[in-house]
Amino acid sequence: MFELKNLPSSDTLEAFSKRYHNPDVEGLRVWLQLAFSIEEMLSAFTANLAQHKLTQAKFFVLLLLLRNPTGLSIAALAQGVNVTSPTMTRIIDRMEVAGLCKRVQDANDRRAWVVSIASKGDLIMSKAIPDHYAWVAELMGHFDTAERGQICHLMTKLGRVTRGVMVYK
């Protein structure tokens, strides 16, 4: 979560650059704007999901279950949502109580469980997905085809280089 809501002015960035030896003031300005804009977009996404009483985790779990109608293991769901298995177990516990999914013992492994979407989860997603698609279409409608291509290219590059940049010590 990016929590800074008041981005610094160019003068402030220049002053801090001199004081703290920033070799790339323009890079910092771009990074701040990118982080701020992504946080704004994700906050709107979260607010839209909340209208359906969903969190991002629940939404993505339900999407994975819709894509895999025979069900998925807790481990597969955890990997798909990028959380640990214990965290996913807690998410599934709450979702099961809410009637969004169901869990049955794996026929091939008595220690494992298979999670599938329940009718209530399917019903919620039948409303949440069209609303999400409409929101994304409105958001992305501000960009033409070339700009969309640039965004995809730059975000792909950012993801690739981010994985290669060391965390500072």
Give the residue-averaged pLDDT of 10-17. 95
Number of alpha helices (DSSP H) and beta strands (DSSP E) in the chain: 7, 3
Residue 109 sits in the same domain as residue 149: yes
Calculate helix-pair angle for 25-50, 10-20, nearest 10 degrees. 120
What is the reported pTM?
0.87
Residue 71 sits in the same domain as residue 141: yes
Tally the domains of the chain: 2
> pLDDT (tens digit, 9 = 90+) per residue, 93-149?
999 999 999 999 988 888 889 999 999 999 999 999 999 999 999 999 999 999 999
Q: Could you tell me the CATH number of the domain that includes residue 59?
A: 1.10.10.10
User: What is the distance between the alpha carbons of residues 77 and 59, in angstroms, rounded to a whole number?
Assistant: 12
Q: Are 72 and 65 in contact (CB under 8 A)?
A: yes
Q: Name the residue range of residue 18's domain.
A: 1-50
Residue 31 sits in the same domain as residue 85: no
Residue 104 sits in the same domain as residue 126: yes
Residue 41 sits in the same domain as residue 68: no
pLDDT band of 169, cuts 50, 70, 90: low
E strands, the chain, are 72-73, 101-106, 109-117
